[in-house]
Chains A and B, each alone.
Chain A
Amino acid sequence: MSNIKAFSSLAMVLAMLSTLAGCASSQAPMDYSAFKQSNPKSILVLPPTNQTTEVIAPYGVLANVTVPLAEAGYYVFPVALVNETFKNNGLTVAEDIHAVAPKKLDDIFGADAVLYIDIEEYGTSYAVLSSDTVVVVKARLTDIKTNAILWEGKASAASSEQSGGNGGGIVGMLVEAAVKQIMETAMDTGFQIAAIASNRLLSPEAHNGLLYGPRSPKHGKEKPAK
């Protein structure tokens, strides 16, 4: 029994390591010249567009973007107040908000850059033997004055990444699946998985990730010019 436990911990550690190893991916490097030239200090995150049927998805993502962006060294406009401001101006649909002219956004918010997020997947799929909560987000950062694209990225996270092996055989698996389904709804795993996906999307340490902003001590020190 303890062997099995040790094995499942090992499996989780391996899963974590593989996540971290994402930092050293061999994908083609991004061109950061426009980003460096723009050198934004502040980022306005617009309410995300949502391709899923989960109405809660934009909230789960929006509530989780401030921390990674702020820790990356940017000023992040208070997301709830930004949302409120659009609402007061009759804009409640994210697609309409994404279509607002950058000049207009600049007049009201005075941001340097705008982050447009699209949610591709969000939610829990229930199956007999397992349930899995998946969040997939992509984003585009643009200069508010020139509308030039500074950066684009995509990230995903799934609750199944954290599940270890189990030694209960088929009955144990069925019980675990049932318990997990209850847990994932009650504890709002969507919010937690959205936090992980947002952090992966917006971490400057990720491969082809954002550059560090002026409020970070690492600003200007990373990713040599190409």
Chain B
Amino acid sequence: MDVTKLTMLAALSVAALTGCQATKPLYHYGSYQSNVYEHFKNEDSAVTEEIEALEQTISESSRNKLQVGPGIYAHLGFLYLQSGQRDTGLGYLQKEKQLYPESATFIDFLLKNAKAGQS
């Protein structure tokens, strides 16, 4: 696979993503997909590096003036909880709910569990 083919592959995925018409994306995802993949592949994956990549994704999205894609704040919040940074973690879970009210039931469930786990 040379560079041309890689470019073609990228173009093809973009074409597949946007379908017949090219449109501006609704959200910014940054490294989210590959982070999720690595996260699944290896459960003890370096949480610190995953957090760093997603924090960068979030700052990129404000630079690109796109909303952070659904699930990213929640995923990041979960990583912070895992690494013992409880307040930051809970804050990011709240942020997901604020940005995406559709997530309220699930986020409340996660918050309740996180609190129960602590007290």
Contacts and interface: CB of A to CB of B under 8 A. Distances in A.
Interface of A: 9, 12, 16, 19-20, 23, 41-42, 56, 58-60, 62-64, 66-68, 70-71, 73, 75-81, 83-85, 88, 108-112, 157, 161-164, 180, 183, 187, 191-192, 195-196, 199-200, 203-206, 209, 215-216
Interface string B37-77: 10111000000000000000000000000000111101100
A80 B36 contact: yes
B66 to A, nearest CB: 11
A170 B53 CA distance: 44
A23 B12 contact: no
A70 B27 contact: yes
Tell me if B's interface is mostly helix, strand, loop or mixed.
helix
A13 B109 CA distance: 48
A33 to B, nearest CB: 23
Given A59-B40, A66-B33, A80-B75, A199 B106 contact: no
Given A19-B16, A163-B5, 13 more contacts: A12-B5, A20-B15, A66-B36, A66-B70, A67-B17, A71-B18, A77-B106, A108-B106, A161-B12, A199-B13, A203-B17, A205-B20, A206-B19
A9 B4 contact: yes
A59 B16 CA distance: 20
6 A-B pairs closest in CB distance: A205-B19, A110-B105, A78-B71, A75-B102, A59-B40, A63-B37
Contacts of A206: 19
Contact of A59 (B12, B41, B71): B41
12 contacts: A16-B11, A63-B40, A64-B33, A66-B29, A78-B72, A80-B40, A80-B75, A84-B78, A109-B105, A187-B1, A195-B13, A215-B26
B20 A162 contact: no
Interface of B: 1, 4-5, 8-9, 11-13, 15-21, 25-27, 29, 32-34, 36-37, 39-41, 69-72, 74-75, 78, 96, 100, 102-106, 109-110, 113
